[in-house]
């Protein structure tokens, strides 16, 4: 079953073209379907959304030195009470991908590429094995992830926590894939990045994450839209495999039967984990 990938977010030009001007504006808006879009020019924003757009300054080479990268730092007094986190990065060869260290489940740290064109988290099979994803009943559903080059098989699962220095997210739907570059263990997508304002300091080779104002209505670090979309996606997959298991004519001892049963079981486990996490965070029933 094809997993719907709403890859409508424009890639930030500073990541694709490191030689761009020292400071650029990013324009962010939400369309009528609840999807986040980012453009580097106001001219690229559809006219009907221009009165809703939020402008963010993205700096690639600040004139003043930044604070030491070994510590999380606070903005200047009176500017903001939101915390900033600075993380050293490396570039991946000629492609110039920005690679930063990311810690999963508080125990395993791996190099990850920032990818503003990816809706969610993607990790390698090797990293998933280190996290014990294949050795516990955590929900590992074989699915397909879409992209510009077409679809590719992946395993949909959930990572308990993802942290980049002080920036952190919990209960992160993640796709496990073969063929990840040997230079990094996966991609950090917009699911994580939209929780922070991000800038690149190419002079000091650091990525800066700054907290965005907290949403007082959020539950478990996610807003109502995230909960509704995730429940809808997980429930749709569960219902699909439940119907396949019910309606297919199959021999109980066949490989096809075993695969169908596995898919139905794993889809149910993913939905159960989501529901338990929602209950732990007092998510209202009408969000589910």
Structure tokens of 216? 């007082």
Q: What is the CATH number of domain 2-211?
A: 2.40.70.10
Q: Which residue has the higher pLDDT, 42 or 198?
A: 198
209 DSSP β-pair partners = 85, 198
Q: Which residue has the higher pLDDT, 108 or 29?
A: 108
Domain boundaries, the chain: 2-211, 224-287
When mean pLDDT is compared across 88-97, 145-154, 180-189, the lowest value belongs to 145-154
57 DSSP β-pair partners = 25
- Nearest Cα to 212, choosing from 83, 42, 58? 83
Is this model's pTM higher than 0.85 or not?
no
Would you call 61 exposed, middle or buried from its count of C-beta atoms within 10 A (0-12, 13-18, 19+)? middle
pLDDT of residue 21: 36
169 membership: H or E segment, kind and range: strand 167-177
Considering 98-112, 190-204, 258-272, the range whose residues carry the highest mean pLDDT is 98-112
Structure tokens of 150? 């077409």
Distance, in Å, from the CA atom of 145 to the CA atom of 153, rounded to the nearest integer, reads 6
Q: Which residue has the higher pLDDT, 167 or 249?
A: 167
Distance, in Å, from the CA atom of 107 to the CA atom of 17, rounded to the nearest integer, reads 34
pLDDT of residue 250: 66
Q: What is the DSSP string of 200-251?
A: EETTTTEEEEEEPPP-TT-BTTB-HHHHHHHHHHHHHHHHHHHHHHHH----
- Nearest Cα to 92, choosing from 72, 73, 113? 113
When mean pLDDT is compared across 9-23, 70-84, 254-268, 273-287, the lowest value belongs to 9-23
Strand boundaries in 61-211, DSSP class E: 84-88, 90-92, 97-104, 108-114, 121-124, 141-145, 152-164, 167-177, 186-188, 196-201, 206-211
Q: What is the pLDDT of residues 123-150, one digit of tens each?
A: 999 999 999 888 766 678 888 776 555 5
Q: What is the pLDDT of residues 51-76, one digit of tens each?
A: 877 665 433 323 333 333 333 344 44
pLDDT of residue 11: 29
Q: Taking the CA atoms of 226, 144, 265 and 171 in sequence, report the sign of the dihedral they define.
A: negative
Distance, in Å, from the CA atom of 4 to the CA atom of 144, rounded to the nearest integer, reads 9
Within 8 A by CB and 6+ apart from 101, the residues are: 87, 88, 109, 110, 111, 112, 164
């Amino acid at each position: 079953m094809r997993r719907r990938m709403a890859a409508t977010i424009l890639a930030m030009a500073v990541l694709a073209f490191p030689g761009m001007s020292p400071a650029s504006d990013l324009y962010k808006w939400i369309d009528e379907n609840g999807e986040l879009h980012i453009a580097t020019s106001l001219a690229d924003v559809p006219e009907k959304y221009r009165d809703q757009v939020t402008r963010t300054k993205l700096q690639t080479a600040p004139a003043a030195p930044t604070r030491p990268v070994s510590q999380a730092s606070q903005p200047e007094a009176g500017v903001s009470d939101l915390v900033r986190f600075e993380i050293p990065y490396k570039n991946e060869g000629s492609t110039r991908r920005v690679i930063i260290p990311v810690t999963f489940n508080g125990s395993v740290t791996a190099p990850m590429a920032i990818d503003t064109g990816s809706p969610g988290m993607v990790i390698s099979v090797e990293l998933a094995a280190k996290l014990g994803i294949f050795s516990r009943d955590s929900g590992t559903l074989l699915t397909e992830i879409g992209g510009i080059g077409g679809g590719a098989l992946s395993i949909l699962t959930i990572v308990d926590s993802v942290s980049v220095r002080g920036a952190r997210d919990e209960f992160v739907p993640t796709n496990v894939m073969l063929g990840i570059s040997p230079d990094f263990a996966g991609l950090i997508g917009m699911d994580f990045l939209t929780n922070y304002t991000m800038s690149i300091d190419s002079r000091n080779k650091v990525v800066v994450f700054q907290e965005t104002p907290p949403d007082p209505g959020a539950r478990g670090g996610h807003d109502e839209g995230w909960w509704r979309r995730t429940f809808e996606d997980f429930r749709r997959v569960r219902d699909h495999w439940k119907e396949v298991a019910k309606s297919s004519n199959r021999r109980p001892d066949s490989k096809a039967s075993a695969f169908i049963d596995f898919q139905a079981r794993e889809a149910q486990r993913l939905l159960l984990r989501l529901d338990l996490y929602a209950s732990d965070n007092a998510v209202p029933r009408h969000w589910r």
